[in-house]
Amino acid sequence: MSASAEKIEKLKLLIGEMGGLQPKEFFRADDLPMGIPRGALVEVSGSLKTEWVIRFLRNNEKVQTFWMEKEQTILPTAIQQRGVGLDRVVFAEVGDLYPALRRVVQSQLFEIVVVPSAFEELRVLKALQLLAEKAHTTVFLLSKKFQPAWPISVQFEVSGSPTAGNLQVNLFKHKPAGIS
């Protein structure tokens, strides 16, 4: 983290202490020095989005994750081969993603929810953002391509070579949940 970024973070903490605000919590993300905010919507796009999420889960070994899809595209054994224990990941195929996602987030049983980004309406994204923030659950939206949307806190694209262990992250937006 650069010196100016550290100063900004210190100022945010001081302002939060004065105003009674709680400092934001973050998950560790090697490719993103600021990390991934808890209780936020995170859009991951690009050809290696799934690979990045699997690496993220491997590096945050204590998180409980719910991975939902309309049709199964991810092979659980492939996730296990990459070092993520299947005892902390629940997989589900659901027909209608939005109602299922709402129930999972509201349950507060999972710190991370991974779902294909099939939500284009701003009111749906805003509702998800509010639910995620209240439940302190981070929702990863896996999308085919980057599309700007203000309710999403973090947006980035992943490319590179998975066999060489080389993932490049192109960050478009990074703001902690609940901060305008």
Q: Are strands 89-93 and 26-27 parallel, antiparallel or unpaired?
A: unpaired
pLDDT level of residue 48 (50, 70, 90 thresholds): very high
Tell me the CA distances in angstroms from 20 to 12, 25, 37, 99, 110, one per residue in order: 12, 15, 19, 34, 27
Long-range residue pairs from 83-87, CB within 8 A, at least 24 positions apart, any chain: 83/58, 84/54, 84/57, 84/58, 85/61
CA angle 49, 50, 53 (to 5 degrees): 90
**Region of poorest pLDDT, from 73-77, 143-147, 174-178:** 174-178
Give the containing element (helix H, strand E) for 28.
Answer: none
Give yes or no for residue 52 having a pLDDT over 80. Answer: yes
| Local structure of residue 170 (DSSP, 8 states) | E
pLDDT confidence of residue 180: 42
Q: Sketch the domain layout of the chain as residue ranges.
A: 25-174
Give yes or no for residue 178 having a pLDDT over 70. Answer: no
Per-residue pLDDT, averaged over 18-43, amounts to 82
Place of tokens 């309406």: 121
**Region of poorest pLDDT, from 9-13, 25-29, 45-49:** 9-13
Comparing C-alpha atoms, which of 62, 66, 60 is closest to residue 30?
A: 60
Comparing C-alpha atoms, which of 173, 158, 178 is closest to residue 55?
A: 158
What single-letter amino acid sits at 19? G
Per-residue pLDDT, averaged over 54-60, amounts to 95
The residues near 85 (Cβ < 8 Å, ≥ 6 apart) are: 61
Place of tokens 């070994």: 61
> Which residues on neighbouring strands pair with residue 66, listed in sequence order?
90, 113
Q: How is the beta sheet containing 154-161 ordered, strand by strand?
A: 89-93, 65-69, 112-116, 138-143, 41-45, 154-161, 166-174
- CATH tag for 25-174 (out of 3.40.50.300, 1.10.3720.10, 3.40.1010.10, 2.40.70.10): 3.40.50.300
Distance CA 72, CA 26 (A): 29
pLDDT confidence of residue 103: 96
The pTM of this model reads: 0.83
